A and B are shown apart, each in its own frame.
Chain A
Amino acid sequence: MRARSGWRSAAALLAACVAGAGCAPVPTLRNVLALHYAGYDQVLPASEALPNEKRYEYLPGNIAAFTLTEPRNLIAAASWSSKSDYCSINIPLSLFRPKQRNATTVVHDFDLSLRHALGLKKAKADLQLEPNELEILRRVEIRISSPKEYSVQKGLQPDYVQSCLAAMAGRTDIKRIRAILVGDVSIKVLFKDNVGFLAKTALLGKLQSNFGFGFLNGFSQDMSAENVVFAARLGPVDRK
C-alpha cells in the first residue's frame, strides 16, 4: 500500500514537472554554465581579467594545479579550486582573439513555481538552504552579459619557463586551461516583503557561498562582478 502511494506521488511529481513548473533548478552559477555554456566549469577564486599581464593565472594554455571541489552532474558544471600553482604560457590576454558568446539570463521565481508541491526539496538541495530560509525568498536571477571566450590559439607560440614545467611534471592534479569565459555576472536576490535586516543579511551571506560565486562589486541584494573570469574549460596537460 505504501509502495503504491509512493509511486502515485512520484507520478504526480513527474506530471507536474511535465506541466512545466517547478522542475527547473534554482539557478546557481554551476547550473547556468551546464545549461548555457556546455563544457565549461566554474573556477575559484573568481578573478578580474587582466589584459596585459603575461603571468596571469587563468590564461588559455597555462598549466595549472586544481582541486575538484564539486563534480559535474546533469544540471550543474563542476567546480574547481585553483591551487595557484601554475606555469604561465606568458602571452597576455590582449594578444588572444576572443569570440563573442551569447548573453544569458536565468530567473527562478519562487512564487510562480510549484514550490510547496515539489519545488521545496529541489530548491533546498540546489541552494542548500533550510525551509524557513527559502520561505523569505521571492526571486533569484542570474544574468551574464558580454561573455567572451578566449581559447588556445595555434598562431600564438607558448613561452613557458622550463624550470616551472619541470617542477610541475608528474603531478596528477595539473590541467591545461583550454579556454576561459570572461564577462559581467550579476546575481539578484529578491526577498518577500517585511523580511528583517538580520534575516536578509544572514541569508545573503549564506547564498554568497552557496551560489559558488562571490561578487567583485555589489550592493546588498544586487551583486555583480564586471570583466571577471567566471568559467574555464580544463583539459589534460598533454593535449595541446
Chain B
Amino acid sequence: MRLALTAATLLVSAALSSQSFARDFGYEKFEDAVRAVYGEGYGAMVPFDDITSPADDPTRRGEGYPGQIMNLAAANGRNGGVVYTNADVYCTPPVSPAPIVVGSTQIKNWLYRTEIGLAGDFTVTGATPSDVIFQLSALDAKYINSFGIQILNVKRYYLPRNDLINATRNATAACGPNFAYGLTSTLVGDVTITIAFVAGVDSGIAANIGQHVKVNLKLHALAVRGGSDTNPLLVFSEGPKIFAIRAEQLPLK
C-alpha cells in the first residue's frame, strides 16, 4: 500500500515538475499584487480553488484548511514571490483544528494587460512558446487585451504555531511521509475575473476562449457577456475560492 502511495506521489511530482517548465505570466504578475497586499510569504494559487464553507464542513475534511499536508509545485513569481500549482493531493490530520478566520484586504481593480505581441508571441524576457497566461496558450491569449481580477469578502484562515505543528505532525503520522508541504494559512474570497478581448474579435472565438478559461481555471459558473460587439467582455464570478496560500516544507519546526 505504502509502495503504491510512494509511486503515486512520484508520478504526481513528475507531472508537477513538467508543468513547472511552463511559466504563467498572468499568475506571476498576480503574485506581485498578492505579495504587496498581504505581505511576504503568501503565494498565488493556480488555479483558484474551491473551498467548502466552515458551516458545510464542520470537521474540515475539505481541502484548504491550515494544518493540512499537501503536495504542490512551487514556481518563482516575477519579483521574488511564489506561485503554487495545486495538485489536489492533500491529507488532513485525524482531528483538523478550527482555524481562526479574519476579514482581510480585498483585491480591487487589479488589471493585467496581456504581455503578447502583434504576432502572437509573448513579450516577456525568456518566454517560450509553451508558456501561458492564466493557463491560456498564446493561441488564445493573443485575442485578449486584459484580465481584470477583483476579490471581495476576503477571509484569512490561520492558526497559532503550536496548533500548526501538532496538526501537520498528526497528519504525517496518519498519512505517511510522502507529502512535501504543510499548509499554514489560506486566503479565500469571492473572485470575479473580467476578460476584455481585443477590438473586433469574432464572437465564436470569444465563446471558445471563454470555454477554455472555464475549464483551465476550474470555474463552474457560466460567463456573463458584456462590453460591446466590437469590444466584448466575459465576466466570470464565483466564490468562495482559495486564491493564495502560505505553505512551508515539512516538517514544520
Could you tell me which A residues sit within 8 Å of B by CB distance? 44-48, 50, 53, 55-57, 67, 69, 80-88, 161, 163-164, 167-168, 198, 200-202, 204-205, 208-210, 212-218, 220, 223, 225
Could you tell me which B residues sit within 8 Å of A by CB distance? 32-33, 36-42, 100, 102-111, 113, 146, 148, 154, 156, 158-163, 165, 184-185, 246, 253
Chain A CB count within 10 A is highest, among B37, B161, B184, for B161
Tell me the minimal C-beta distance from A129 to chain B in angstroms.
Answer: 14
Tell me the minimal C-beta distance from A209 to chain B in angstroms.
Answer: 4
For B105, list chain A residues within 8 Å (CB).
Answer: 45-46, 213-216, 225
B100 pairs with A45, CB closer than 8 A: no
A214 pairs with B161, CB closer than 8 A: no
Ranked 9 nearest A-B pairs via Cβ: A214-B105, A81-B39, A44-B39, A209-B36, A164-B162, A48-B103, A204-B109, A45-B38, A81-B40
Known: A88-B160, A216-B105, A218-B106. A44 touches B111 (CB 8 A): no
Which B residue's beta carbon lies closest to that of A88? B160
For A161, list chain B residues within 8 Å (CB).
Answer: 160, 162
For A86, list chain B residues within 8 Å (CB).
Answer: 160-161
B39 pairs with A223, CB closer than 8 A: no
For B146, list chain A residues within 8 Å (CB).
Answer: 198
B162 pairs with A87, CB closer than 8 A: yes
Tell me the minimal C-beta distance from A178 to chain B in angstroms.
Answer: 19
Chain A CB count within 10 A is highest, among B38, B160, B185, for B160
For A209, list chain B residues within 8 Å (CB).
Answer: 32-33, 36-37
B160 pairs with A53, CB closer than 8 A: no
Tell me the minimal C-beta distance from B232 to chain A in angstroms.
Answer: 15
Among B100, B103, B108, B159, the residue within 8 A (CB) of A223 is: B108
For A168, list chain B residues within 8 Å (CB).
Answer: 161
For A223, list chain B residues within 8 Å (CB).
Answer: 108
Helix, strand, loop or mixed for chain A's interface?
mixed
Tell me the minimal C-beta distance from A64 to chain B in angstroms.
Answer: 9
Known contacts A86-B160, A205-B109, A208-B110; 18 further A-B pairs (Cβ under 8 A)? A45-B39, A47-B102, A47-B104, A50-B100, A57-B102, A81-B41, A83-B246, A84-B246, A87-B160, A164-B161, A167-B162, A168-B161, A200-B109, A208-B37, A208-B109, A209-B33, A215-B106, A216-B105
Which B residue's beta carbon lies closest to that of A50? B102
For A53, list chain B residues within 8 Å (CB).
Answer: 100
Cα–Cα, bound, A79→B66 (Å): 25
Which A residue's beta carbon lies closest to that of B33? A209
B158 pairs with A57, CB closer than 8 A: yes
Tell me the minimal C-beta distance from A170 to chain B in angstroms.
Answer: 10
Cα–Cα, bound, A220→B100 (Å): 29
Which A residue's beta carbon lies closest to that of B166? A163
Tell me the minimal C-beta distance from A18 to chain B in angstroms.
Answer: 35
Tell me the minimal C-beta distance from A140 to chain B in angstroms.
Answer: 15
Tell me the minimal C-beta distance from B54 to chain A in angstroms.
Answer: 14
Tell me the minimal C-beta distance from A211 to chain B in angstroms.
Answer: 10
Cα–Cα, bound, A55→B158 (Å): 10
Which A residue's beta carbon lies closest to that of B38? A45
For A214, list chain B residues within 8 Å (CB).
Answer: 37-38, 104-108
A82 pairs with B108, CB closer than 8 A: no
B109 pairs with A45, CB closer than 8 A: no
Among A167, A218, A225, the residue within 8 A (CB) of B165 is: A167
For A220, list chain B residues within 8 Å (CB).
Answer: 108-109
A167 pairs with B253, CB closer than 8 A: yes
For B185, list chain A residues within 8 Å (CB).
Answer: 84
Which A residue's beta carbon lies closest to that of B146? A198
Cα–Cα, bound, A82→B185 (Å): 11
For B162, list chain A residues within 8 Å (CB).
Answer: 87, 161, 163-164, 167
For B110, list chain A residues within 8 Å (CB).
Answer: 205, 208
Cα–Cα, bound, A87→B185 (Å): 15
Cα–Cα, bound, A215→B37 (Å): 9
Among B38, B106, B156, the residue within 8 A (CB) of A217 is: B106
